A and B are shown apart, each in its own frame.
Chain A
C-alpha cells in the first residue's frame, strides 16, 4: 500500500495486505502508484516480536495531562518507540524500531484482545509521529497552524491554542479561500520557494496543497493590526508553534536552519485581529 502525504511517499508492507485498515482520514491519501521514490517504509506486524527488544536509554517522553502518549529510547543505533492508546492512557498500542535514518520502520501492533484480524499501523499518534520524522530528514517542518490558499497565495495563521486558528480558517472560508487545514500543516522547501500541505486528520479530507507566501502570528485584538517580523524574532515566533521533539540537537538545529532560511523568502507578520471578515481585507492590503 502506498500513501502520498505532502508529496512524501510512504509504503506500508504487511504479509497479508488485506489485513491493513487505516483510519478514514488516511484513505484520500492512498495512491496506486508513485512516480517518485518511496521516502518512508513501514513494515507492519500484527503482534509484538518474539525476540526481546533492547530496552535502551530513554531519550524523550511525550507525557500529556491524560497520560503518556509515546516515548523513545535508543540502544546503540536502534531507536525504539513505545506508542500508547490515546483513548486509553497507559495501554500499549505499538512498539516500533528504526535506525537513525528514520526511513524504515518496523511497527509491531501490541494487541491484547482478539481484534487482531485487521491492523492499523498508522493509528494515532503514530501516523503524525512518522510524518514528523519524515520532515526532520527532509527540508520540511510540521507546524500547528491554519492554512489557506487565497487565490493561489498560501497563508498560514499560527499561535498557541485559543488564539484563533479555527476562527481564522472559518473567516477565510467564508471569504472564498480554500482552507487546507485548521490544525496541522507540513511546509516544504521546493526548488523554487515553499509549499504548504495538509496531512491526514481524524476525518476524511482530500490532499490539499498551495504555494506558501505568508505567515501570521495571530492574537485577538480590538482592531486589525499587522506588524512585520524578521530575523531571530520571526524564527522564534514560528519555531514556538512548530511540532518538535527537542531531545535531539540535530533535529532542533534542522528546524532553526529551515526557518531562518524560510523567513528570508516568506513574509512573517504578527497579526492582531478582529474575528470578522474585516481581517481579510486588512491582510490583503498588506501584501507586498
Chain B
C-alpha cells in the first residue's frame, strides 16, 4: 500500500500485480488520516478510540463509531484491492 498525505487528508493506493481499476482509491479525511497513522503504532481498537477522543475532543461513543466504521471500510477496501 502506498499512502500520500495531501492537505491533512490521505490517499491510499494498493500495490498491484495486475492491471487494476484505480478509480476507487481510498481517500481518508482528517480523522481517517489520524487513525491510519495510529495503525502504524499497532494500537488496539480501544487505543484508537482513546486517541481519537483525545485528538478531536469528541465523546467516546462518536469516536467508537468513527473508528469501527473506518476499520470496516478499510478492511473492505483491502479485500477488494
Query: Do A and B come from the same complex?
Result: yes
Q: Which residues of A contact B (CB under 8 A)?
A: 58-64, 160, 230-233, 235-236, 239-240, 242, 244-249, 252-253, 256-257, 260, 263
A160–B16 Cα distance when bound, in Å, is: 19
A87 to B80 alpha-carbon distance, docked (Å): 31
Q: How far is the CB of A198 from chain B (nearest CB, A)?
A: 23
A58 to chain B, nearest CB (A): 8
* A231, B28: Cα distance in complex, Å: 11
Determine if A240 and B17 form an interchain contact, defined as CB atoms under 8 angstroms apart.
no
Binds A, one of B19-27, B46-54, B55-63: B19-27
Q: Which residues of A contact B14 (CB under 8 A)?
A: 246
* Min distance, Cβ B48 to any Cβ of chain A, angstroms: 21
Q: Contact check, B2 vs A249: say whether CB atoms are below 8 A apart.
A: yes
Q: Mark B2-15, 1 if CB is under 8 A from A, else 0.
A: 10101111110111
Could you tell me the distance between the alpha carbons of A260 and B4 in the complex, rounded to whole angstroms?
8
Name the contact of A240 in the complex, choosing from B6, B7, B23 (C-beta under 8 A).
B23
Shortest CB-to-CB span from B36 to chain A, Å, is: 12
Name 5 interchain pairs, CB-CB below 8 A, sorted by A.
A62-B19, A231-B9, A232-B4, A233-B27, A256-B4
How many A-B residue contacts, CB cutoff 8 Å? Answer: 72
Contact flag A246-B4 (CB < 8 Å), given A232-B27, A236-B27, A240-B22: no
Q: Which size class do B's interface residues fall under? A: 20 to 34
Task: Write the chain A residue with the least CB distance to B20.
Answer: A246
The answer to whether B44 has its CB under 8 Å from any CB of chain A is no
Pick the residue among B18, B23, B28 that contacts A160 (CB under 8 A): B23
Closest residue of chain B to A244 (Cβ to Cβ) is: B22
Which of A60, A232, A242, A246 makes the CB contact (< 8 A) with B11?
A232
Known: A240-B25, A246-B15, A247-B17. 14 other contacts (CB 8 A): A61-B18, A61-B19, A231-B7, A231-B8, A232-B4, A232-B6, A232-B10, A232-B27, A232-B28, A239-B22, A239-B25, A246-B20, A256-B11, A260-B6
CA of A256 to CA of B12, assembled, Å: 10
Measured in the bound complex, the distance between the Cα atoms of B58 and A77 in whole Å is 51
Closest A residue by C-beta to B25: A236
Q: Which residues of A contact B18 (CB under 8 A)?
A: 60-63
**Quick one: closest B residue to A248, CB to CB?**
B15
A76 to B24, CA, bound (A): 33
CB distance from A253 to the nearest CB of B (A): 5
Q: Nearest Cβ distance between residue A57 and chain B, in whole angstroms?
A: 11
Q: B21-44 CB contact bits vs A (8 Å, 1 = yes)?
A: 011110110000000000000000
* Complex CA distance for A263 and B7, rounded to whole angstroms: 11
Other-chain residue from B7, B16, B25 in contact with A230 (beta carbon distance below 8 A): B7
With A239-B11, A256-B11 given, is the CB distance from A247 to B16 under 8 Å?
Answer: yes
